[in-house]
Amino acid sequence: MSEDRGVAQALPDDVAALADVPADKGEVHVVHLYPREMSIYGDLGNTRCLAARLRWHGYRPVVHDHHPGAPWPGRADIILGGGGQDSGQVRVTEDLARHTDRLRELALDGLPMLMICGMYQLFGEAFITVEGRRLPGLGILDVTTRGNATRMIGPVVLDTDFGSVVGYENHSGSTVLGQGQQPFGRVRHGSGNNGSDGHEGARTANVVGSYLHGPVLPANPALADGLLEVAARRATGGWDPAEVDDTVAERAHQAQVRRLLGS
């Protein structure tokens, strides 16, 4: 990877060695928001998945970890955020507020983003903790979340614009979509946003919010490549994917669908 402000992760040599093509299609910059405070239940795997798939497709991934108080990375082609405890959300709120205008502009401009659990909630209008503290969100997604004492835990299957998506939810926040807000998916198994309306996550343009941990991207290659296609087109002017052997991931995906849906 190239040297650049905020670059913190190198693609492991054994992962890069799986690529059958040279990395000559251009750089794609991946920004991971708050990996220390907001990356539990395996969410870091989403960043590693995108970096690996970019390399396997012949692009050069450049990964920036953004921490509270740090300068904003010099370039972002796709942005990821994960889940965390309520205390973690409080620790990142001030820094997130500093970059609100930038993130809103990037979202309006079509930059792909994937926000999981806690960051999904903070990309909404507001998160109201179980103690009643109101944390203002960025308002990129028209959703409002309230903490409650009952956790929604277990495997999930969704129907989405990217095909069926499998994952694992573990959240106490109950999220409600605003009028006209598109969900990320329709729940076929699991609780989703709140256990009652059949919706999971939210999507506005290329910004996707979801409660699916797991991490979700390695288990759903079509979703990963759907986000990468937008990022690569923005970064290099085109999308020229290579053949990637997803046999194991696709078998695991289908096994999960059959186990949960019986079909």
Confirm if 216 and 176 have CB atoms less than 8 A apart: no
Using left for φ > 0, alpha for ψ between -120 and 50, and beta otherwise, residue 113 falls in: beta
C-alpha–C-alpha distance, residues 71 and 186, integer Å: 38
> How many Å separate Cα 122 from the centre of its chain?
13
**CB–CB of 185/160 below 8 Å?**
yes
* DSSP symbol at 141: S
Instruction: Look at residue 76 and give its three-state secondary structure.
Output: coil
Beta strands in the chain, from DSSP E residues, in sequence order: 27-33, 60-66, 78-81, 113-116, 126-128, 134-136, 143-160, 163-177, 185-189, 199-200, 202-204, 207-210, 212-213
CA 36/CA 33 separation, integer angstroms: 9
Alpha carbon distance 39, 211 (integer Å): 13
> Which residues does the annotation mark as catalytic?
117, 213
**Residue 263 near residue 164 (C-beta atoms within 8 A):** no
Cross-strand pairs, 167: 156
Compute and round to an integer the Cα radius of gyration of the chain: 17
